[in-house]
Chains A and B, each alone.
Chain A
Amino acid sequence: MSAAFILVFIIDLGLLISLMALPVMKGEDAFFGVRVSPEVYQGEGRRILHRYRFWLVMTFVEIEVLAALVSFYRPEVTLARMASVWLLLPAGIIFYALFYRQVKTFEMAEEKQRFASSLEPRRFHDHTSIPFEVAIAALAVAPFLVLIYFYPEIPARVPIHYNFRGDADGWARKSVGMVFMLPFMTVYMQGLFFMMKQGLMEVKITLPAEHTEEYYHFKEQSLIATMRLMDWIRVTVTVMFAGLSLNMIFTTMSQFQFMKGVITITTMISSAAMVTVTGYYIIRLFKINHDLKNATGRVYVETSRDAARWYSGGLVYCNPDDPSLFVEKRLGIGYTMNFGNKRAYLYLAYIVGLPLIVLFAFLNR
């Protein structure tokens, strides 16, 4: 059993659990993205859910057995092992779409609902602070500057991959692309985080006219928790990437040999911190949702105008009449983009830029 096998298995397992939980994350308010009555949710809905989960698990087992056979008989084809992720995801989406059609027939008739709008503007200082932003920007830019300074002294063969002990096990010829790929990505990702934060500041949350105060309170708490989680990911990713960027000079230049161990430890601590903090905030977000349900009886509301603009069983939102860029997800926890807003494509283009940087670096070596 190789480490890669176990890693991909864990990713597949995570994917399976998410797919299994997806239809019920918002309870009867959006069961498979459909609002159903509690009776249907407890009765026929349960049976549909069990069938959906049965098919998912069977597919998962099948894919994993295939993957195990491939890694046993053809261990040299590492890409074949990775393919399981790309098999499980489309299979899951197909099952989801099929079972969504069954649930759709139980959709509750449109009842007259009332909604509220908050006049309270969100304040930037609730979600960030200037010293934090400055510190993280400095951390992101520093490796870039250090590598520019030491660039002439870097030898012709540079490490691009490290094993678990922090020793280099993959090498490439020195080039601008290879040396500056990681630090550039670090800076590039700051832009992405900044855009996400900016967008989430104005996320639209539809408020019911009943229990408005409590509903609003819990939803804003969710937003704050999401922002905190994003900041933690930003910090850990930046520390990790900054460390790995500098590793290029620490591993190749003799005067910096003593720093090698420090970077390995930093990388380990920051990855462990990322996993822990992500777990903590996911539990916290679920807890907020649970409290919201207890306080107001609902975890999700939407106007009938918006409801008609969800596609693929509530996975994709595209509403040109809605000015907001980010909206609450109909399924699962968190926020999603409104593809009816032209700015969404700007964000997409920026995200696509990330793999392009890696591609560019490897093409230029």
Chain B
Amino acid sequence: MFITVDQDDRRPIYQQVVDEIKALIAGGSLEEGEQLPPVRQLAADLGVNLNTIATAYRELQNEGLITVRHGSGAVVASKISNNTGDDELRKPLRAALTQLVLAGLPKTRILSIVADELKALLKGTR
């Protein structure tokens, strides 16, 4: 169970950390009540700024996925994000699908890609 950040990725680093932790929670690798590494340690491991990780943890906390308590560190609080507004969830999906359509992929191919990704995500392999 590892977190990696990619300097060449266009997403900001804090967003990458958020996405990786979310994927681990969604895939069941991180269970409720499990401890996340302290901000300082994660920052030192990944060679990034302290504030980057702090921002990532704050974002996760705002979505209700983790709780950060002073002294005891960050703990996975729930497997359900409180970002459940229908439109909010559809927006990134719509953007991703647009990319796939513009890439010229046929409808069946897009559906199989989506199915593959979903399967991998739930199995925790991605």
Closest chain B CB from A211 CB (angstroms)? 11
**Structural contact, B6 and A209, CB atoms closer than 8 A:** yes
- A117: Cβ under 8 A from any B Cβ: yes
Give bound CA distance, A204 to B4, whole Å: 16
- B110: Cβ under 8 A from any A Cβ: no
Q: A207-B45, A305-B47 are in contact. Are A114 and B5 (CB under 8 A)?
A: yes
Residues of B within 8 A of A305 (CB): 44, 47
Give bound CA distance, A279 to B38, whole Å: 37
Residues of B within 8 A of A112 (CB): 7-8
- Count residues on chain B whose CB falls below 8 Å from chain A CBs: 23
Among A204, A212, A323, A324, chain B packs the most CB atoms within 10 A around the CB of A323
Residues of B within 8 A of A118 (CB): 1-2, 45
- A355: Cβ under 8 A from any B Cβ: no
Residues facing A in B9-52 (CB within 8 A) are 24, 29-30, 35-38, 40-42, 44-47, 50
**Structural contact, B47 and A209, CB atoms closer than 8 A:** no
A117: contacting residue among B29, B30, B46, B50, CB under 8 A:
B46
**Structural contact, A117 and B45, CB atoms closer than 8 A:** yes
**Structural contact, B7 and A114, CB atoms closer than 8 A:** yes
A115: contacting residue among B4, B29, B30, B38, CB under 8 A:
B4
- A321: Cβ under 8 A from any B Cβ: yes
Residues of A within 8 A of B35 (CB): 121
Residues of B within 8 A of A207 (CB): 2, 45
- B3: Cβ under 8 A from any A Cβ: yes
Contact with B along A293-335 (1 / 0, CB 8 A): 0000000000111100000000000000111100000000000
A212: contacting residue among B4, B47, B50, CB under 8 A:
B4
**Structural contact, A116 and B2, CB atoms closer than 8 A:** yes
Residues of A within 8 A of B4 (CB): 114-117, 209, 212
Closest chain A CB from B98 CB (angstroms)? 29
Known A306-B47, A323-B41, A323-B44; 16 more pairs at CB < 8 Å: A114-B5, A114-B7, A115-B45, A116-B2, A116-B4, A117-B45, A119-B1, A119-B29, A121-B35, A206-B47, A209-B6, A212-B4, A303-B46, A303-B47, A305-B44, A323-B40
